Amino acid sequence: MTTNQATGLVGASAAGTAAAARPLRLFLALDAVVTGACGLIYLLAASPVGRLFDLDSGLLRGIGAFLTVYGIVVAALAAKPLPPAAATKAVIEVNALWAVASIAAVVFGWVDANTVGTVWIPLQALVVAGFAALQLSGLRKAHG
């Protein structure tokens, strides 16, 4: 048997593991694209988005910076032939926390957005929760 230096996997099992990891990599990549895009929009267009949602542009810039960096980290993880389980779990946990915190922010009035913002925040939380669920499913298939 041979060992693939890039993945550390042995022989034919490398191909099977790569195929099993394909959905996980796809869900991570989609998350990275959506998160990175939202991050760049919040970062570069904080003033108009702030007016649209009636939110402070400084808050949006901070969120945008975080999301942009987070999107890059998730993209790097998605680029691996078999994303490590621990790092993938961390992404899933951050996504779940983000979704819960977003809903809580609206429900408990931690943000004072207008109607557009109050609709947008839970909608994006549902998308993030969806990514977390899909990534968890992909993680189970890839890592057993």
pLDDT per residue as tens, the chain (144 positions): 444 544 555 544 666 677 889 999 999 999 999 999 999 999 999 999 999 999 999 999 999 999 999 999 999 999 999 999 999 999 999 999 999 999 999 999 999 999 999 999 999 999 999 999 999 999 999 987
Which pLDDT belongs to residue 144? 79
Give the whole-angstrom CA distance, residue 116 versus residue 72.
28
Predicted confidence at residue 15, as pLDDT, reads: 63
DSSP structural state of residue 45: S
Residue 19: the pLDDT is: 86
**Dist CA 72 CA 40 (whole Å):** 11
**What's the pTM?**
0.86
Contact 65, 35 (CB under 8 A): no
Residues 6+ away with beta carbon under 8 Å from 30:
131
Quick one: DSSP state of residue 144?
Answer: -
Cα→Cα distances 125→18, 20, 100, 144, Å: 30, 27, 7, 27
What DSSP character marks residue 104?
H
